Amino acid sequence: MRADSEPAGAHAASAAGVSVDKPSAPAPRRLAQAALRDLPWEVGVAKPDPAIVVDGVTRTFGGLTAVSVDHLEVQRGGITGLIGPNGAGKTTLFNLLTGFDRPDTGTWSFDGRSLGKLAPHQVARLGVVRTFQLTKALSRLTVLQNMLLGAQGQRGEGFFASLVPSLWRAQETANTAKAMDLLQRFKLDAKKDDFAGTLSGGQRKLLEMARALMSDPKVVMLDEPMAGVNPALTQSLLGHVKDLREEGMTVIFVEHDMDVVRDISDWVVVMAAGKVIAEGPPESISQNQAVVDAYLGAHHDAPLTVEEEDRVLAEAEAAIAREQGTDGDVLESGTAREGDPR
Amino acid sequence: MTEFLDALASGGKAALGFQAIFICLLAVGLNMHFGYTGLLNFGQVAFAMLGGFGIGVAVTKWDLPFGVGILVGLGAAVVLALLLGLPTLRLRADYLAIATIAAAEGLRLLFKSGTATPVTNGTQSLSGFSGGFTDLCPWDPTRTFRILGARWDGRDLWVATVGWTIVALCCLLTWLLVRSPWGRVVRSIREDEDAVRALGKNVYAHKMQVLVLGGVIGALGGMINALGTGSLNPDNYQNAYTFLAYAVLILGGAARVLGPVVGAVILLFIVSFTDAALRPLIENGVIPEGLLTVPDVARLRFVLVGILLMALLVFRPQGIFGDRREVMLDAR
């Protein structure tokens, strides 16, 4: 049922034609978008070439179910946007996928390798790196040192090897050259000897992304890369994210700005109250009633009177009774939100 | 005037003596823990005590050679570091602080207790373990030397020579380590562990290596203290020394290779110099008896050290060697 369909040639061509943002550069190959074009817009749909597969992952904090994802696949080489209202479980899902948190149940894998029992650094060594919602620049290290930390397989990081500089000096020189290249790309090369703590918020976001790239990742998970960044810098960050896709990396990012999501995502996953409530290409999302309800509440025009609220609650309960399963839960979260403004 | 010169000489001797080396090595270890890695070890003196008693017990109770005693002391410090680190290094920094302060106090009381007395001699002190060390002295250990106006006996000079050599080696080791990629990982851990984890570094292993290394350096300090005093009593390893070492570290500048060395020299100089300078002033009536008496001096000098530290933190929070820009970043 869930189409393992190959991308149709015509679709691939039109996909490439749609997004030409750099006239001089070769037309971006939005292979993932083309590959995903024919998939049905339903939750848990199988992707032609999944890099990450999540199965039955749940995480509860006391009585609160923060994440409960039945099945989710992330297409390799594409940009997958993860959106949802505050508290939807996006960051928790990130933490679970990267080993920073342990789920109560479930399995998840990267390239067919289970990530279930791995510590964060082991996940990173497999090529899945992440950034953080609250930027983690290493303040009292210089920008260049921040970058060098990102390089993998450094011989000089062993205790005894570190005492013999000849063992690691050549590697260090190579890493420094690579770091300078990346810094140049991210326009931070002039700052290389400044403490990272003196950078502005936006520059720290750039540094964190550049640092993650030092590890030659296969999957980059960006937690709100654009939050608190001015519009001009947002454009440049967006350009960098698109470049990652061009280089064949899989990008998963959390974002609240729908324009950004529409602009760069090949596929969008919407979470609410810990569940995936919708997924599909970006243009499908704004038409999805469940998404609109999750974001705005089912009734969002005017403050409710007590009588109206009772009526809405009754309707919602009736709806829940009517539609069982995942849809019921969506409405539940919708009714929960109605109470918020008061 | 001669009294002033005598006070200078006495301060100089204290600044180079075994107690300065003891505090200095504690602080060099803490610099590794706290200065570079951000590990809050409030029980550094416990490592020193194990180092000292390692020699003492091995030589006097188990009849082992002096060299083996050193290995016993260092081994005990490694074991303590592992025991403290295994449960706490996966947790937030505070847990290590609690575990170490409790271990330091607990171990001291255990070594003093009746149960441990057959091994440690408890409150009666353990002595007669440093013969193997004195035998190695290239000069006559009973001869008296005059250095910078102060009188040193040959044994003290031997302890100080060996002690400062160890300090120099530990500083060299620190310098080699912190300028390498290993040092970069360790300093990054101080800034933000999670960021380091997300970049594929084994934070736990690095923290454990640092804890063991700093503990071993502290144990060396404890050995110098034991050799300097020539006797071992658990009460010579009060946890106040840990905090004195922190004062030294902050005075000299944390996360600087020579910070703890300069800090220890200055602190010990001030404590001894004020003592030696104030006594004659009181005895000659320059300072009236009603203002200050001789027995007060012993306490007053630490008050002066406290005032000095406060002034330092106000006017030079980075310490003597620190980088002001670096320290100011913390305020954000």
In degrees, to the nearest 5, what angle opens at C-alpha B209 toward C-alphas B207 and B214? 95
**CA A51/CA A74 separation, integer angstroms:** 6
Q: Hey, are the CB atoms on B200 and A158 less than 8 Å from each other? A: no
Q: Hey, are the CB atoms on B329 and A157 less than 8 Å from each other? A: no
Domains present along chain B, CATH in parentheses: 2-329 (1.10.3470)
Residue of higher predicted confidence among A165 and B1: A165
Residue A318 has what pLDDT?
87
First to last CA, chain A: 45
Q: Hey, are the CB atoms on B177 and A120 less than 8 Å from each other? A: no
Residue A218 forms contact with B (CB below 8 Å): no
Residue B195 forms contact with A (CB below 8 Å): yes
Q: Hey, are the CB atoms on A162 and B195 less than 8 Å from each other? A: no
The mean pLDDT of B7-23, rounded to a whole number, is 93
Residue A179 forms contact with B (CB below 8 Å): no
Structural tokens at position B285? 């009536």
Q: Hey, are the CB atoms on A141 and B188 less than 8 Å from each other? A: yes
Residue A337 has what pLDDT?
45
Q: Considering only alpha carbons, which residue of chain A is nearest residue B210?
A: A159
Q: Pairing mode, if any, of strands A267-272 and A79-83?
A: parallel
> B186-207 as b/e, with b when 16 or more CB fall inside 10 Å?
bbbbbbbbebbbbbbbbbbebb
Q: Considering only alpha carbons, which residue of chain A is nearest residue B35?
A: A140
Residue A298 has what pLDDT?
59
**CA A270/CA B66 separation, integer angstroms:** 70
Residue A295 has what pLDDT?
76
- A70-96 pLDDT tens trace: 999 999 989 999 998 888 889 999 999
Residues A282 and A80: beta-carbon distance below 8 Å:
no
Q: Hey, are the CB atoms on A100 and B177 less than 8 Å from each other? A: no
User: Which of chain A's residues have a Cβ under 8 Å away from the Cβ of B209?
Assistant: 159
**CA A30/CA A98 separation, integer angstroms:** 26
Residue A162 forms contact with B (CB below 8 Å): yes
Residue B327 has what pLDDT?
76
Rg for chain A, CA atoms, rounded? 22
Residue of higher predicted confidence among A333 and B47: B47
Domains present along chain A, CATH in parentheses: 41-137+200-284 (3.40.50.300), 141-198 (no CATH), 297-338 (no CATH)
Q: How far is B35 from chain A (nearest CA, A)?
A: 12
- B178-210 pLDDT tens trace: 999 999 999 999 999 999 999 999 999 999 999
Q: Hey, are the CB atoms on B199 and A138 less than 8 Å from each other? A: no
ipTM field = 0.87
From residue B293, how far is each of A84, A105, B307 by CA, in Å?
A: 74, 72, 20
Residue A30 forms contact with B (CB below 8 Å): no
User: Which of chain B's residues have a Cβ under 8 Å away from the Cβ of A215?
Assistant: 199-200
Residue A86 has what pLDDT?
85
Q: How far is B183 from chain A (nearest CA, A)?
A: 8
User: Which of chain B's residues have a Cβ under 8 Å away from the Cβ of A195?
Assistant: 325-326, 329
| pLDDT-flagged residues of chain A (< 50) | 1-24, 327-342
Residue among B194, B197, B332 whose CB faces A197 most closely: B332
Q: Considering only alpha carbons, which residue of chain A is nearest residue B200?
A: A121
From residue A42, how far is each of A45, A93, A171, A172, B281 by CA, in Å?
A: 6, 19, 47, 48, 91
DSSP string, B193-224: HHHHHHTT--HHHHHHHHHHHHHHHHHHHHHH
Residue A100 forms contact with B (CB below 8 Å): yes
Residue A119 forms contact with B (CB below 8 Å): yes
Identify the DSSP state of A197: G
- B241-283 pLDDT tens trace: 999 999 999 999 988 999 999 999 999 998 899 888 888 888 8
User: Which of chain B's residues have a Cβ under 8 Å away from the Cβ of A212?
Assistant: 198-199
Q: How far is B310 from chain A (nearest CA, A)?
A: 24
Q: Hey, are the CB atoms on A149 and B325 less than 8 Å from each other? A: no
Residue A331 has what pLDDT?
45
Q: Hey, are the CB atoms on B198 and A172 less than 8 Å from each other? A: no
Residues A69 and A94: beta-carbon distance below 8 Å:
no
Identify the DSSP state of B32: I
Q: Give the Cβ contact number of residue A74 at 10 Å.
A: 23
Contacts of A133 (CB under 8 A, 6+ apart): A91, A223, A224, A227, A254
- B124-160 pLDDT tens trace: 889 989 888 999 999 988 888 988 888 898 999 999 9
Residue A157 forms contact with B (CB below 8 Å): yes
Residues B186 and B206: beta-carbon distance below 8 Å:
yes
